[in-house]
Structure 1
Amino acid sequence: MRAVVMDEYGTPEVLRERELAVPALKETEALVEIHVASVNSGDRLILSGAFRDALPLRLPHVLGIEIAGVVSEVGENVTRVKRGDRVIGLAAAGGGYADYAALDENRLAVIPPELSFRETAALPAVGLTAWQSLLRYGRLQSGQRVLIHAGAGAVGHIAVQLAKLLGAYVIATASARNLAFVRQQGADEVIDYAATEFWDGIQPVDLVLDMVRDGGATERNSYAALKDGGKLLSLVSPAISRNPAIRGIEAQFVRPEPNGSDWSSLVRLVQERRLKIHIDGIFPFGAKGIAEAYRVHDAGGKKGQLLITWAR
């Protein structure tokens, strides 16, 4: 099968196309023929070497944690999916930038025939992160106030929509060129982070969701935007829970976990057209296409999700 691998850490230019064997199945795994994968920030950080100590790899390595495709084979103990099912999946260890990937059945969710792979491929990791951040970690309630940083991004634009569906008052930060887009997602207030100190003059919020990699500046300044006893959730700082207690604010690092019920809820919202995944770019499968997608990702300012597609 075709695969795009990294033989070393570095920039997108180190990615290479290789012929690899189709993965052998364990008894609780399904083999998925991949039709769509996503460009995920986690993959990009793995490629750069930022996670090499926390997540050591055996090189060469196939990146790609979010996939959508068709089950082509199942292990002998698989009961949740069957051959021919259209599924989305979370390949936490990578493997999605290939023609086929083997995933444990608990990391797959069946999608209905009326939904496309493109509009659901971002749900396994990005959608799950937004959902679990707000509901499981944040326990966001109707009438509460939430501040979502990077509201135009892959996780951010989904989190804005979900927070509104939950009945919250939503404030989001974004670049000047993406302010209108974030308002379209339902944000009640949008702050241009480059022109305004977001914490200055803001009415205190119950919850902050931070996904900005800026050396911790956004995290530190977010305390000033929170009510006493509020919650600060980070997608980028695993050490945040060790921060000194400030005004009773609960600081947590979000670690999304595969959950069939959560995925089913997200799929249902997309099916009901209450949640829309914005696709900002589509790139062909291959080293050249994936490298170009990463360059677009690195340039910043994107809206929603970038996808990799196979010609099938």
Structure 2
Amino acid sequence: MKAIMMMDYGVSEALQEQEIAKPELKENEALVEMYVTTLNSGDHLILTGAFRNVVPLRLPHILGIEIAGIVREVGEKVTRVKPGDRVIGLLPTGGGYAEYVAVDETGLAVIPPTLSFQETAALSAVGLTAWQSLFRFGNLQSGQRILIHAGAGAVGHIAVQLAKQHGAYVIATARAHNHEFVRQLGADEVIDYNTTDFAESVSPVDMVLDMVRDGGETERKSYTVLKDGGKLLSLVSPMIGQNERIRGIEALFVRPQPSNSDWSSLIRYVQEQKLKVHIDRIFPFTAKGVAEAHQAGEASKKGQLLICRNV
């Protein structure tokens, strides 16, 4: 089968196309034929080496945290899925940049035939991250105020919708050209982070969701806008939980865990048109296409970047 291999840490040029054997199944795994995978921020952090201590790897490695596809085979102890099921999958250390991937059945959720692979692929990790950040780690309540950094991005644009649906007052940061997009998602306030210092313009909030990789500057400033006893949720700072607690603020690193109940909620929201996954660009499943997706992921974008077979 074809796979796009990460040969070393560094830039997207470290990705190469290779022919390798299909994975052998363990008794609790399913073999999924990949139709759609994504450019997830976790993939990029692994590629660059930023998560080297969080996700140790043996190189060469196949990236791809999120997939959508069809189950082709199952291990003898698999009960949750069967051959022919359309599924989304979460792979904690990757594997999705390949034509076939073996996934533990707990990392899979069946999707209905009325939804496409493209609109649901990002629910496997990106949607799950937004949901669990807000409701499992953050315990967001109606009436609370939340600041969502990078509100136009993959996780951000889903988090804005979910927070608003649950009755929160939503403030988001985004580039000026994405402001109307973020307002349409439901944000009550949108701040241009290129021209305005959010630390000086945001009234105190109960929660901050930080997805900005800027050496910790956004993280440090976020403390200043949090109420005493608030929550700072980070997707980019694995060691944030070891920080000295300031004014009772709870700082947590969010790493999503497979959950069929959470996936079911997200799928239901999409079916009921309460949640829309915005697709920014689609790239072909080639070494060049995957490299271009990673390069695009470093630039300003809105929504999700997908990598699809047969584009």
TM-score normalised by length of structure 2: 0.98
State the alpha-carbon separation in 2 of the partners of residues 126 and 53 from structure 1. Answer: 21
Task: Identify the residue that residue 69 of structure 1 maps to in structure 2.
Answer: 69
Task: Identify the residue that residue 163 of structure 2 maps to in structure 1.
Answer: 163
2:108 aligned with 1:130:
no
State the alpha-carbon separation in 2 of the partners of residues 163 and 16 from structure 1. Answer: 39
Structure 1 regions of 5+ residues with no counterpart? Answer: none
Shift of 1:53: 3.5
Whether the aligned pair in 2 keeps the contact of 1:178 and 1:301 (CA below 8 Å) is no
Shift of 1:278: 0.3
Task: Identify the residue that residue 308 of structure 2 maps to in structure 1.
Answer: 309
**SS of structure 1 residue aligned to 2:200:** coil
Task: Identify the residue that residue 93 of structure 1 maps to in structure 2.
Answer: 93
Q: Which segment drifts farther, 2-11 or 257-266?
A: 2-11
Shift of 1:256: 1.4
Letter in 1 for 2:6: M
State the alpha-carbon separation in 2 of the partners of residues 128 and 233 from structure 1. Answer: 14
Shift of 1:199: 1.8
Shift of 1:180: 1.2
Whether the aligned pair in 1 keeps the contact of 2:145 and 2:207 (CA below 8 Å) is yes
Shift of 1:118: 0.3
Shift of 1:55: 2.5
State the alpha-carbon separation in 1 of the partners of residues 112 and 63 from structure 2. Answer: 27
Matches within 5 A, 1:255-270: 255-270=255-270
Task: Identify the residue that residue 252 of structure 2 maps to in structure 1.
Answer: 252
Whether the aligned pair in 2 keeps the contact of 1:207 and 1:226 (CA below 8 Å) is yes
Q: Which segment drifts farther, 245-254 or 73-82?
A: 245-254
**SS of structure 2 residue aligned to 1:257:** coil
State the alpha-carbon separation in 2 of the partners of residues 240 and 152 from structure 1. Answer: 24
Task: Identify the residue that residue 119 of structure 1 maps to in structure 2.
Answer: 119
Shift of 1:50: 2.2
Q: Structure 1, residues 97-154: CA drift from partner, whole Å, max 9, x if none?
A: 1100000000000000000000000011110110000000111111111000000110
Whether the aligned pair in 1 keeps the contact of 2:54 and 2:238 (CA below 8 Å) is no
Whether the aligned pair in 1 keeps the contact of 2:228 and 2:248 (CA below 8 Å) is yes
Whether the aligned pair in 1 keeps the contact of 2:45 and 2:51 (CA below 8 Å) is yes
Whether the aligned pair in 1 keeps the contact of 2:6 and 2:62 (CA below 8 Å) is yes
State the alpha-carbon separation in 1 of the partners of residues 128 and 100 from structure 2. Answer: 22
2:12 aligned with 1:12:
yes
Letter in 2 for 1:166: H
2:288 aligned with 1:272:
no
State the alpha-carbon separation in 2 of the partners of residues 246 and 95 from structure 1. Answer: 39
Task: Classify 1:201/1:6 alpha carbon distance in 2 versus 1 (closer, same or farther; 3 Å).
Answer: closer
State the alpha-carbon separation in 2 of the partners of residues 49 and 142 from structure 1. Answer: 38
Shift of 1:194: 1.0
Q: Structure 1, residues 69-116: CA drift from partner, whole Å, max 9, x if none?
A: 000000011000000000000111211011000000000000000000
Whether the aligned pair in 2 keeps the contact of 1:151 and 1:160 (CA below 8 Å) is yes
**SS of structure 2 residue aligned to 1:55:** coil
State the alpha-carbon separation in 2 of the partners of residues 140 and 163 from structure 1. Answer: 8
Whether the aligned pair in 1 keeps the contact of 2:37 and 2:96 (CA below 8 Å) is yes
Letter in 2 for 1:306: L
Shift of 1:163: 0.1
Q: Structure 1, residues 182-210: CA drift from partner, whole Å, max 9, x if none?
A: 11111000000111110213221111111
State the alpha-carbon separation in 2 of the partners of residues 157 and 63 from structure 1. Answer: 23
Task: Identify the residue that residue 282 of structure 2 maps to in structure 1.
Answer: 282
2:52 aligned with 1:52:
yes
Task: Identify the residue that residue 32 of structure 1 maps to in structure 2.
Answer: 32
State the alpha-carbon separation in 2 of the partners of residues 93 and 238 from structure 1. Answer: 15
**SS of structure 2 residue aligned to 1:16:** strand
Whether the aligned pair in 2 keeps the contact of 1:164 and 1:186 (CA below 8 Å) is yes
Matches within 5 A, 1:162-311: 162-298=162-298, 300-311=299-310
Shift of 1:51: 2.5
Letter in 1 for 2:171: I
Q: Which segment drifts farther, 271-280 or 3-12?
A: 3-12
State the alpha-carbon separation in 2 of the partners of residues 77 and 119 from structure 1. Answer: 30
Letter in 2 for 1:305: Q
Letter in 1 for 2:155: V
Shift of 1:245: 2.1
Letter in 2 for 1:151: G
State the alpha-carbon separation in 2 of the partners of residues 122 and 245 from structure 1. Answer: 33
Q: Which segment drifts farther, 33-42 or 54-63?
A: 54-63
Shift of 1:244: 2.0
Calculate the aligned-residue CA RMSD, in Å.
1.1
State the alpha-carbon separation in 2 of the partners of residues 75 and 24 from structure 1. Answer: 10
